[in-house]
Amino acid sequence: MLSVLCQVSEKVMGVGRMEARKKKCTEVVFAVLLLLLLQIAGCGMEASLPIDQKEGEETPHPSGRRQGTEQTVKDTEAYVEFSSVETEDIRGMKTIYLAGGCFWGTQKFFDQFDGVIRTEVGYANGPDSWRRSLPLIDGRGPTYEEVCDNSGHAETVRIDYDESRISLTKLLEYYFMVIDPVSVNRQGNDIGVQYRTGIYYAEEDQLPEIQAEYERQEQKAGTKFAVEVKPLENFYTAEEYHQKYLDKNPGGYCHIPAAMFRLQEEAEEIEVETPPPYGRRQGTEALSEREMESPERIRERIGDLAWDVTQNGATERAFTGEYDEFFEKGIYVDVVSGEVLFSSEDKYDSGCGWPAFTKPVSEDSLVWVTDTSHGMLRTEVRSSGANSHLGHVFEDGPVEEGGLRYCINSAALKFIPYDDLEKEGYGAYRRLFEEQ
């Protein structure tokens, strides 16, 4: 061993064999450390690929989920906890971890919002038992294949955000827009424990805000949720090909409708201030009167059919509604509250027998609720202001408009003609038509 070390010393120090043997002990130690460092570097590079996978081999996907795009792991990075990755020091930056089914779509959804600094997908809150008989490699988390083989981790998106520009409450509002909060181990067509929903916090002071928004969403939906709320136990960065997957593969699979990826863009384009529920008439007196309006008075004002639809979840008969084949220029508001819901610019003839729209004027005006009535699994649409039942949303709408079809009862709507917008207190919404 000494002979080998001396030979290394000769190379390193540039001296002959006899002189190398006479060098101080510190020079031998230097050579030993050099060899160790070279060995460690070699092991680190070997560990960057999953066990039993050679560089360049394709990473398999579970059937029924990842469709249409084959990926390789040529640029796969080592699996390390995100906390070990160097991060910039941003004052006011906070972090939250959200599991919402397939993390491809969840990451793209949150990337759009102003105030979100960066995102990264990974595997969170799984047990150590996933390692089974595998040798322990420091810093190595589960591979994608191990997660799909029930490692117990959830596909999760780490979100770093500037709380001076976007609050945790707002992020959670967006989160509940794109998940089915009552499903267990399933989102869309993706089934398995890795697709469970969860809110994982790294700071204890985030919990009260999480609980407040969680309870508010449950009250809106009128049912208990199955979304986990837990401290973050662990988070392992996913393979590189999963990062920003839908940016790299625009046609890739996603359980989230494409229209949901344009919320920020549409908000910036329209920049219309939505009048508060009941508050569209002049002064505060009208607001107080409407807030104090009794159920009997509301029913008398809107009629029995509109009452049954908005308050009892009834459905008007197909092809009988006032606005089914109605295409005049204007906006549609909640018949109960006057809250702005839809524009005639987004209305189309779907042939379904009810008014159909590709999108609302503002996503904040609607609440999506899982509906299991009549032996079907559907997504109910309610107004956020008055909690009126409006109809349902389906994913068979025009693809070029985002793929959604809002199927709405005429009885739940009131039409405001374009020429009457100013007179009726909706003058700000003339811009919806002037920008066309």
What is the reported pTM? 0.49
Structure token pair of residue 69: 């795009």
C-alpha to C-alpha distance for 63 and 61, rounded to whole angstroms? 6
Within 10 angstroms of residue 61's Cβ, the number of other Cβ atoms is 16
Strands 190-191 and 197-201: what pairing?
unpaired
CB atoms inside a 10 Å sphere around CB 290: 20
SS3 70: coil
Token couple for 187: 């989102």
Q: Which residues contact 110 (CB under 8 A, 6 or more apart)?
A: 98, 116, 119, 157, 159, 171, 174
Dihedral class, residue 338 (left if φ above 0, else alpha if ψ from -120 to 50, else beta): left
**Do 241 and 102 contact (CB within 8 A), yes or no?**
no
Cβ contacts of 58 within 8 Å, gap of 6 or more: 70, 71, 72, 73
Sign of CA dihedral 423, 427, 432, 434: positive
Token couple for 248: 């790299």
Please list the ranges in the chain whose pLDDT falls under 50: 1-6, 8-25, 28, 42-89, 133-137, 270-291
- How does DSSP classify residue 133? T
Query: How far is it, in rounded angstroms, from Cα 234 to Cα 212?
Result: 24
User: What is the structure's pLDDT at 376?
Assistant: 79
Quick: pLDDT tens for 94-125. Answer: 999 999 999 999 999 999 999 999 999 999 99
């529920």: which residue's tokens? 277
- Write out pLDDT tens, residues 337-391: 899 999 999 999 999 999 999 999 998 889 888 887 777 788 999 998 788 999 9
Strands 389-394, 405-408: parallel, antiparallel or unpaired by DSSP? antiparallel
- Strands lying side by side in the sheet with 330-334: 340-343, 330-334, 413-417
Nearest-CA neighbor of 71 among 241, 273, 323? 241
How far is 168 from 160, CA to CA, in rounded Å?
Answer: 10
Active site residues: 102, 407
Q: What is the widest separation between alpha-carbon atoms in the chain?
A: 109
